[in-house]
A = this chain, B = another copy of it.
Amino acid sequence: MTGGQIRAAGRAEPEEAVLFSPLARSLAATTPFVGPEAIERETGVRFRARLGANESVFGPSPAVLEAVAEAAARSWAYGDPEQHDLKVALARHLGLAPANVTVGEGIDGLFGHLVHLATQPGDAVLTSFGAYPTFNYHVAGHGAALHTVPYRDDREDIDALLERARALKPKLLYFANPDNPTGSWHEAAAVERLVRETPAETILVLDEAYSDLAPASSLPPTSLLRPNLLRFRTFSKAYGMAGVRVGYAFGESEAVRQFDKVRNHFGVSRMAQAGAVAALADRAFLEDAIARIVAARDRLSAIARDAGLRPLSSATNFVAIDCGRDGAFAKAVLDGVIRRGVFIRKPAVPPLDRLIRVTVGREEELALFAEVLGETLRELG
């Protein structure tokens, strides 16, 4: 055991030395979203339906699989670190220039870079209480100070966010439209007011992960660019490519260019780049997937109502279902559904914690959810 010999070889015990930064030492090792695989390993439950991670069972497109297979065979070579072809395709898709687009390992990866670029330890960041945990994880990871305003009627509260932002002048203001975990949305005019009234010192982080599934009336035009606005979209939701890992941000080129100072240049794989290009080109597949998701969303809402629960209106690929009582009751519903083999999730903090969050699926998966939800509610009385 060379390791043991070396360790015993005489100098101060290394455990006494201070390794890693004070910030790093203060952080908890954590996973913002525990995966269904981990739940299966821990509980022994074998999930029969995976309706908890807001993925799309309807994707990816066969054209994506073809492009990915072709790229896989050439994956002895690094992907293009400038992501040229994908940026050109995205720019065309958005009606912008390639310099207005940056691509990363999912929106999550881009959020990590953005917090890195925009904040110093102690800087203020503003979001809604109960909004996207992975954004908060990166804020904590960079030692910035997270401030929150409450949701109002299960929607992000633009007035309250702006009021707090005017006082706080945060470095970042996070806003998701449509929203996760509620599925709610604001109309474009309201979002444009948020853009307009966000303090000039604050970067508005407009998370549009679910934009493909939202009413057109809710989306400001892609031409809405400002120095302090970055908009984030992904191939993980409507395109059904969550496991491929590709998201992007767009905005004014000077803001977008900042990512080139800290990003992992080869981080978006050759397969991801080729797959995303193919996905953008297969408009028919996307439209069909969206239609299926919207139909499944209606069906899921009906299932909730039939069970005596209240589904929230959704502009996403999931439905937040109000269990009608407190967080403990909703947690019991969640646990019962999970124990019966259907993976779903729920918000953790009040008042959203009375909701469960169920991703759409195929008819057989939704029927299974209906069945186990019914059993669970009967059990809970």
Contacts and interface: CB of A to CB of B under 8 A. Distances in A.
A378 interface: no
Q: With a 10 A CB-CB cut-off, give which of A57, A65, A258, A268 has the most chain B CB atoms.
A: A258
Interface string A310-333: 000000000000000000000000
A23 interface: yes
A53 B21 CA distance: 33
Given A244-B75, A258-B20, A225 B3 contact: yes
A22 interface: yes
Contact of A75 (B60, B134, B228): B60
Contacts of A201: 17-19
A73 interface: yes
A371 interface: no
Interface in A44-60: 50, 53, 55-60
A141 interface: yes
Contact of A38 (B32, B77, B80, B105): B80
Q: With a 10 A CB-CB cut-off, give which of A6, A261, A275 has the most chain B CB atoms.
A: A261
Contacts of A266: 105-106, 108, 242, 245
Contacts of A60: 72, 75-76
A218 interface: no
A280 interface: no
A272 interface: yes
Nearest to A10: B196
Contacts of A35: 78, 80-82
Interface in A19-49: 19-24, 27-35, 37-38, 41
Nearest to A108: B264
Contacts of A105: 105, 109, 264, 266-267
